[in-house]
Structure 1
Amino acid sequence: MNYKSTILASLFLVGVIASSNAQDIDQKNVPSVIKSAFNKAYPKATDVDWEKKGANYEVDFNLGKVDHKATYAASGKTVSFEKDIPNAQLPAVIAKNIKAKYPKGRIDDVDWINTAGKITYKIDIEGTPDVNVWYDASGKFIKEVAD
């Protein structure tokens, strides 16, 4: 196998692995119990896109001009919900911690996440290097992942 073939085979394999974890699906293939729960909770949702992730169904949508995401179990129960929030709505303790830990970084995006009543924040920071960080509602650092 030559160099180009090896590269192409590797890229194909990465694509197959990535697509096995999350798969875009047509709304008509979403179970009715899940669609019903979603439509009841978010009747004004627009730009609705569904994915199947493992046993769960994830839906990306907009309410007004704000990006949202909800994850549902096969039973129709909400597993988690998240939405973009303005940087100014990030709790001050978290903003202060980020400024101290990433002095050259710039907060690019903030997601407010509710998983079974537990609130966390995912913050995308542009800087050297770009990272995503998670904090709990009290301002405790959870983790950092390179972006």
Structure 2
Amino acid sequence: MKNKGTFLAAFLLLAGIASSNAQDIDKNKVPAAVKSAFMKAYPKATDVDWEMKGSNYEADFDLAKVDYKATYTSAGKAISFEKDIPNSQLPALIVKNIKAKYPQGRIDDVDLINTGGKISYKVDIEGTPDVNVWYTADGKFVKELAD
């Protein structure tokens, strides 16, 4: 019986840690400054869902059938946005670097990330194993995380 309690406590702790990174929130709890900045930048956004990312607000939405994310401070200042792009829009140097580093991998999904005007790319690669990799706009490898 003691093991069940320990297991439950460990499970709840892990669940709390996993959910602490991002938490869905109701749009009514998003500050007016954030909603205003978002609507000004993306007036035609649809299917908007809000999350807390630390102390920031992230909108996950569609725009012209493309998936986007935009992150704002609580004061409504834009921090970053990202959008899905076709694989064909990934810079050739990054494609070349990926093929060299992951010869058995297949590019599955590409996100363009704009943080304060600085462009980077997140690329989901299916292979053995599946990974997510980040590159700068000029093709420099940034990091890799298991998918």
Residue 9 of structure 1 deviates from its aligned partner by 2.7
CA distance in structure 2 between the aligned counterparts of 1:45 and 1:73, rounded to whole angstroms: 19
Alignment RMSD = 1.1
Structure 2 stretches lacking a partner, 5+ long: none
Identical pairs, percent? 73
Partner of 1:21: 21
**Structure 1 segment 68-107 matched on structure 2, within 5 A:** 68-107=68-107
Residue 5 of structure 1 deviates from its aligned partner by 4.3
Asked whether 1:59 is paired with 2:32, we answer no
CA distance in structure 2 between the aligned counterparts of 1:6 and 1:131, rounded to whole angstroms: 33
CA distance in structure 2 between the aligned counterparts of 1:145 and 1:52, rounded to whole angstroms: 22
The DSSP-based 3-state class of the residue aligned with 1:76 is coil
Deviations along 1:55-89, whole A, 9 cap, x unmatched? 11001000021100000011111000000000000
Residue 20 of structure 1 deviates from its aligned partner by 2.3
Residue 51 of structure 1 deviates from its aligned partner by 0.7
Asked whether 1:9 is paired with 2:9, we answer yes
Residue 35 of structure 1 deviates from its aligned partner by 0.2
Q: TM-score, normalised by structure 2?
A: 0.95
Q: Which one-letter code corresponds to 1:38 in the other structure?
A: F
CA distance in structure 2 between the aligned counterparts of 1:75 and 1:20, rounded to whole angstroms: 21
Bigger shift: residues 58-67 or 4-13: 4-13
Aligned length: 146
